[in-house]
Structure 1
Amino acid sequence: MLVLGLLFTACIGGVAEASASTDLLIVNKKTNKLAYFSGGKLEKTFPVATGKTKALTPEGSFKIVVKIQNRPYYKEKIPGGDPSNPLGDRWLGLEVNGTKGTTYAIHGNNNESSIGKYVSAGCIRMHNEDIRWLYPRISKNTTVVIISTSADMESIAVNHGYAVGKTLVPGTFIVGGVSTKLQEPFVVEQSRVYVPLKELVTLSGGTMNRNAGTGELTIAIGNRSVTHKPLSDKAVVNGTSVTMLPSRNVNDRLLIPLSSVPALFGINVKWNPQQQSVTLLK
């Protein structure tokens, strides 16, 4: 249901770049570890500190909405960058329940011995050296999954729709000679390319609606009317059943195989692996 739906002062105040949609951060409170995934691979794991009690650090899927270097600690009027600042010198603010990145964050610290423990008022603390490494690699709108589980990081990522072991590349569609960088990545797996359906439809001048009862999508592009149930290997095009490779959920977005686009929508496509772009040829 999440796939279908999306288709259609615990720590202490910030200032509200494009999403690095090939990235994912996972914080596992059970082990107090943070995992950084990029391009479909687990790149690095770090120790962290989380809330004094289980309820203090919220669980769920959130977005990075604020990035601040040398953020002041307003409560005690400690300047940003001061060695005594408990927030360290890097702040990755999370959108949690309308807090707009000002209350919960992944940040540094002024007490390195606290890392690995349950000590914070709700934020996720990292070693200063670690967050300085991570900070420039993370863009706003990157997803952060916070969870408490015995599962390994790769399993957590897969369970949240991240394509571990696949190649994720920033997507670009070219229509009429105009290049558009997409919010969601392409997935490349064994020479097969999968593209985000919603952005394909939008850039092709089409519309897409979901049947709340059946979950089926109805897509209209030009003279084509297509119905498709997410994750299935069937579609109906102008009343005729068409077999296709199954669509798939990646990062909570629906992707379809590029090879199926001509049969479904009457649009010829050209994949350029060097430029990591798809040209749509009507």
Structure 2
Amino acid sequence: MINYAVNDDFKKEAPRLLKLMLVFVFLLTVCLSGTAGTAEAASSDLIIVNKKTNKLAFFSDGKLVKTFPVATGKSKELTPEGSFPVVVKVKNRPYYKENIPGGDPANPLGDRWLGLEVNGTKGTTYAIHGNNNESSIGKYVSAGCIRMHNDDIHWLYPKVARNTKVVITTSSLGMETLATNNGYKLGSKSFAGSIMLNGVSTKLKDPFMLKNSRVYVPLRESVAVLGGTLQRDAASGALIITAFGRTVKHVPLTGKATVNGKTVTMIPSLDENNRLMLPLGSLPALLGLDVEWKAGSKTAVIKK
């Protein structure tokens, strides 16, 4: 016969053991839920560090939120290039090499540390962090880490979740192009723009739009500036553009048009606040124009 008797010692310890088990389950639940939440938060964020310009860009929810000056390695190879996740977040990290306590004004790490997983270092070796010498920012002076102004890292630190991707590169491309090239989906952004036709520049009243690194122009006003006409076919809903000896028919929001009766493919037009936006890159195929985008002046230079 099996003896189900329980000794007195177990009876005394049972309540305490039960409490410990409950605490363990609670902590495990918190840890798991925290990990899932962090991964989700990081999915819409991206950090890019461009060593060519010593700039750091923070993207969130499909937009470039802010750009900061940084300091990087004394030599090119010291700051590694590639894609690395943030795996460690530490406030007041000690500088172990010289036994400087965390939070000490002499600590070259500053008081915020975003550690990166680089070649198995687990966030202990390479990081985005503060500094103890503000004049070093913007220069090539570090042993491999990415230094920021202390006010800047204080702004960035609470906004960056673990697992946020950090891309480190050396490039002449703009930050938004680099983001797109690394698989980041950019949302749309409106801005004032101009069209320069045969050397004459006209600033449009309606805004241009940047979406997924493509420039879109307001169709109606752009056609007017180019000296064309715009009508609508009531039967088909197609817009009819007449300019530069061409007749273009395009059904809004589609990826096709007919040019003098011949079908061509194009990037679909977009509706933005009840304005039809045409991809600037489609103008050569539709109207036979030479188009160059000047990002600095936000001008579409068009030549016939």
- TM-score interval, smaller chain: 0.5 to 0.7
Residue 34 of structure 1 is aligned with which of 53, 56, 60?
56
Write the distance in 2 (CA, Å) between the matches of 1:25 and 1:70.
22
Residue 139 of structure 1 is aligned with which of 144, 148, 161?
161
Letter in 2 for 1:32: N
Unaligned runs of 5+ in 2: 1-34, 190-210, 212-304
Alignment-derived partner of residue 63 in structure 1: 85
Alignment-derived partner of residue 110 in structure 2: 88
Write the distance in 2 (CA, Å) between the matches of 1:82 and 1:22.
34
Residue 105 of structure 1 is aligned with which of 100, 109, 127?
127
**1:223-275 superposed Cα distances (whole Å, 9 cap, x missing partner):** xxxxxxxxxxxxxxxxxxxxxxxxxxxxxxxxxxxxxxxxxxxxxxxxxxxxx
Q: Secondary structure at the match of 2:156?
A: helix
Letter in 2 for 1:132: H
Alignment map for 1:109-188 (pairs within 5 Å): 109-165=131-187
Higher relative contact order (CA 8 A, sep 6+): 1
* Offset at residue 164 of structure 1 (A): 1.0
Q: Secondary structure at the match of 2:93?
A: coil
Letter in 1 for 2:186: V
Unaligned runs of 5+ in 1: 1-16, 168-188, 190-282
* Offset at residue 166 of structure 1 (A): 5.7
Write the distance in 1 (CA, Å) between the matches of 2:58 and 2:125.
22
Structure with greater proportional helix content: 2
Pairs aligned (count): 152
Runs of 4 or more consecutive aligned structure 1 residues displaced over 2 Å after TM superposition: none
Q: Secondary structure at the match of 2:65?
A: strand
CA RMSD of the aligned region, Å? 1.3
**1:24-69 superposed Cα distances (whole Å, 9 cap, x missing partner):** 0000000000000000000000000000000000000000000000
Write the distance in 2 (CA, Å) between the matches of 1:45 and 1:93.
19
Structure with greater proportional strand content: 1
Identity %: 76
TM-score (norm. length: structure 1): 0.53
Write the distance in 2 (CA, Å) between the matches of 1:166 and 1:101.
34
Write the distance in 1 (CA, Å) between the matches of 2:113 and 2:145.
10
TM-score (norm. length: structure 2): 0.49
**1:74-107 superposed Cα distances (whole Å, 9 cap, x missing partner):** 0110000000000000000000000000000000
Write the distance in 2 (CA, Å) between the matches of 1:165 and 1:48.
26
Letter in 1 for 2:50: N
Alignment-derived partner of residue 9 in structure 1: none
